[in-house]
Amino acid sequence: MKILLMGNPNVGKSVVFSRLTGVHVIASNYPGTTVEFTKGFMHMPEELGFKGETAEVVDVPGVYTLEPASRAEEVACEMLKEGDVVINVINATNLERSLNLTLQLLKKKVPLVVALNLWDEAEHTGIKINVERLQQILGVPCVPTCAITGEGFKELVSEIKEAKPGGYEYEEEERWHEVGNIIAQVEKVTHRHHSLRERLSDASIFPGTGIPIALIVLFVTFQVIRFIGEGLIGYVFEPLFENLWAPLMLKVSNLLGGDGLIHNILIGRLVEGGIDFGESFGLLTTGLFVPFGAVLPYVFAFYLILSFLEDSGYLPRLAILADNIMHRVGLHGMAIIPMMLGLGCNVPGALSTRIMETKRERFIAATLMAIAVPCMAQIAMIVGLIGKHGASGLGIVFGTLFVVWIILGVILNRIMKGESMEIFLEIPPYRLSYLRGLVKKVWMRIIWFAKEAVPWVLAGVFIANILYTFGIVDFVGRYTAPLISGVFGLPKEAVGALILGFFRKDVAVGMLAPLDMSLSQLAVASVVLTMYFPCVATFAVLVKELGVVAMLKSAVIMIISTLIVGGILNLVLGIL
């Protein structure tokens, strides 16, 4: 049996999906979190009248209508043909919008069960729905649910076997009218006062108060990430590595004789007779320290805050405030989503460009993100490398990237055919994170990081060793010196970092540490490393999302802008 979860965007389908299948997917409080179909399996329990079989459950991205106006809607219509049962997840706090889709599903004659989700929120806001009457009218089972707490799920699962195509007939042109009629029969709204939550909501979208609030939110976000990241590194991870792991590694080093190929690959080179986690560059030293000691604390801090912001519903409001700037670069406000996710890791950032409606927008968003938005792993390494010299170096790096983002965006917007789309989006109510949901979401992202990033970091450190041991860096360095030293003003060995940057940007930044460069050289190298090309994981996703031809175009843009920006920055910093 194949069960499809369908409904409007941001009604909690992904939470319902996690409940039913135990497969955890990212759920947030803004429309368009789910951009891909997610499949999972659920056990159909005997005690609820099933045969104990396994059913496939598909989390379909949200749509407002089945009239195929957008790509998402076309895909949803296609999926509909494959489903045996559709669980139509509807928003109990907004029946009108939800029932519009329900009526369209009824017309398709698919076996249907309606889950009235966000039931608790509807009750809080004074909305009463007569479920029995709704069930009578639609002719399909209707179950009130609260996906976050799991209320109503036993009934929902049990009703799957009662799913039927329903008997509601109506004229297509009269659909909105019919929706209105149904609502008049089943819904009662008690009057209520403007709540604090709504006042806060209004304040965050009035220009006069919204922009100061946005600046405060961003500042606090930044400070909290720094506080948690620095705190974890300074008080937990560095002591762990220095006091426990380093002595152990030194013993291993002695055991291996202190030198030789295996020693150099596992431990790396000793700095003044000891392990230096930044410079030794062995698999067990730098290879483990980079992902766990240097990067993970910041990744954790970032995802904790991002997840909280996602759940709160603040991001769509930020999108409204950012809409103007985004239009300058050919995008609209919702493009803050790929940019923010890209700050965590460019891979989910690239995937989320699907939130943009047209190919042109997706191209611009993906290119700008890949060029000018460094991932948290890289940021953490840059902060570790340059932060020692004070904040000015960091200001140069991130300031330059921001200016590149704007200028390149304006240019792309000018030269690419087509206009930018306008923002059109439902603003969800503010919600507080549900603690268990938040913990799970952060945990999922950490696990994802460990699975996706750590192998690449180890591979990167390994390859870095091979490159040095066999003199490949020297060899390539000789030929690329005119570019690396001539244009960017970097030592020729820095080419090693550029080669490694294809694999992992954080390891690549780490490779700059032993090169003994000046602050301006470090700044130029960090900017160049961010811009010149995406890491292999991001590259693969971009090829899939944009297509080979568009990705090639994007790559050409990346390389040319790196040459120009790296060159100019070197000149400017040289004069200063």
Residues that bind other proteins (CB under 8 A): 64-65, 67, 69, 93-94, 96-97, 100, 176, 201-202, 205-207, 210, 316, 319-321, 323-324, 332-333, 421-427
Closer Cβ to other proteins, 95 or 529, answer by number:
95
**Cβ closest to other proteins, residue 46 vs residue 96:** 96
Q: How far apart are CA 449 and CA 472, in angstroms?
A: 30
Strand partners of residue 142: 114
Min CB(97)–other proteins separation in Å: 7
> Please, which residue, 42 or 103, has the CB nearer to other proteins?
103
Give dist(CA 233, CA 293) in Å, integer: 6
4 close to 79: Cβ distance less than 8 angstroms: yes
- Residue 90 or 375: which CB sits closer to other proteins? 90
54-59: strand order across its sheet: 38-43, 54-59, 2-6, 85-91, 112-117, 142-144
The DSSP bridge pattern shows strands 127-129 and 112-117 to be: unpaired
The CB-of-32 to other proteins minimum distance in angstroms stands at: 13
Q: Which is nearer to other proteins, 210 or 514 (CB)?
A: 210
Name the residue nearer to other proteins (CB basis): 66 or 537: 66
Residue 145: which of 19, 32, 3, 21 has the closest Cα?
19
For residue 546, which of 333, 337, 354 has the smallest C-alpha distance?
Answer: 354
Q: Distance between CA 260 and CA 257 in Å, rounded? A: 8
Query: What distance in Å separates the CA atoms of residue 421 and residue 432, rounded to the nearest whole number?
Result: 31
Query: Six-digit token pair at 100?
Result: 């519009």
Give whichever of 24 and 97 is closer to other proteins, judged by the CB atom. 97
Instruction: State the minimum distance, in angstroms, from the CB of residue 84 to other proteins.
Output: 27
Find the shortest distance in angstroms from Cβ 210 to other proteins.
Answer: 8
Shortest Å, Cβ 14 to other proteins: 20
DSSP 111-141: -EEEEEESHHHHHHTTEEE-HHHHHHHHTS-
Q: Measured from the CB of residue 165, what is the shortest distance to other proteins in angstroms? A: 23
Structure-token pair, residue 153: 């799920």
Q: Taking the complex as a whole, how short is the minimal distance between the CB of residue 235 and other proteins, in angstroms?
A: 43
The C-alpha atoms of residue 74 and residue 63 are separated, in whole angstroms, by: 10
Nearest CA to 146 among 119, 125, 126?
A: 119
d(CA 454, CA 451): 6
Smallest gap from residue 323 Cβ to other proteins (A): 5
> Closest separation between CB of residue 406 and other proteins, Å?
16
For strands 142-144 and 127-129, give the pairing.
Answer: unpaired
Task: Give 378 or 413: the residue with its C-beta nearer to other proteins.
Answer: 413
Nearer to other proteins, 64 or 119 (CB): 64
Whether 63 contacts 86, CB under 8 Å = no
User: What is the Cα–Cα distance from 336 to 546, expressed in whole angstroms?
Assistant: 19
- Rounded Cα distance between 93 and 511, Å, is 54
Of 10 and 520, nearer to other proteins (C-beta) is: 10
* Closest distance of CB 334 from other proteins, Å: 9
